[in-house]
Amino acid sequence: MNTREILQRLAEGKIGVEEAEKALKIEPFEELGYAKVDYHREVRTGVPEIIYCAGKTAQQIAGIINNMVEHGAEAVFGTRCSKEKYMQIRESCPEIAYDEISGIISRGKLTAPVNNGNILVLCAGTSDLPVAREAALTAEFLGNEVKEVYDVGVAGIHRLLSQMEVISEANVIIAVAGMEGALASVVGGLTDKPVIAVPTSVGYGASFGGVAALLAMLNSCASGVSVVNIDNGFGAGYMAHTINCLAGRRS
């Protein structure tokens, strides 16, 4: 039982106070030996634990997923999963879906967005797509309506300017770019909405694996631009969700 179910059963008189207290004491996390699955994270933050798949074996990931499902998790989400790991995971978790571009694995999803308005993900170039898709799928999993516009880098700025209508409609904008990372500054100068800049490791030698884009975004002269770490699409999608929550939840 999760925390909500425990409290509901207590309120309905199906369990006593002592039984509820015992259940709550063992609810916070599950010890698997190689992982402690945090079942109170959703209670504390509103978002269940997300599985970071890089560095974990397929067996460990499958074990975490199965444990979450056993604890009543209706939706499971993982980032940075290789296709090879996914192929092994689905042998014991056949309901797991896979997005090959972003490396996202997921099981189930919310039936409808929970927030008003939408989050817009802008991507400078096709090479930045893995990070942009990670941001978009993260925000969607958390219950947001997400719009995606790709290949609108400043090298052909008319492509970006043709999207002003969709830019103006968004509550939050995620700007994903490598090379010199100029997209975030340009977008920040075109809108009054918060812009989350995501530098990517895409670029030639002097880009230093995304450091050039990171520094450019940190030094943006456009107001309203915040920056997450290099290639951190998940962090951008999560932050955009928290900002979008301030716009009010759907009744």
Domain end among 72, 107, 142:
107
pLDDT score at 106: 92
Residues 150, 231 share a domain: yes
The span from the CA of 164 to the CA of 150, in Å, is 14
pLDDT score at 110: 63
Residues 191, 123 share a domain: yes
Q: In what helix (H) or strand (E) does residue 120 lie, and over which residues does it extend?
A: strand 118-123
pLDDT score at 5: 72
3-class state of residue 176 by DSSP: strand
Query: How many angstroms separate the Cα of 106 from the Cα of each of 39, 41, 81, 165, 206?
Result: 18, 18, 11, 31, 36
Domain end among 51, 85, 107:
107
pLDDT score at 107: 87
- How many domains is the chain built from? 2
pLDDT score at 24: 65
Q: Token pair of 217, please?
A: 């975004």
Provide φ and ψ at 79, rounded to 5°: -115, 160
- Is 135 among the domain residues? yes
- Is 171 among the domain residues? yes
Nearest 5 degrees, angle CA 232-CA 85-CA 149?
40
Residue ranges in the chain whose pLDDT is less than 50: none
Provide φ and ψ at 240, rounded to 5°: -60, -40
pLDDT score at 180: 92
Residues 237, 124 share a domain: yes
- Is 50 among the domain residues? yes
Residues 151, 102 share a domain: no
pLDDT score at 29: 66
- Is 251 among the domain residues? no
Domain end among 54, 74, 107:
107
3-class state of residue 52 by DSSP: strand
- Is 164 among the domain residues? yes
Residues 125, 64 share a domain: no
- Is 57 among the domain residues? yes
Domain around 197: 118-245
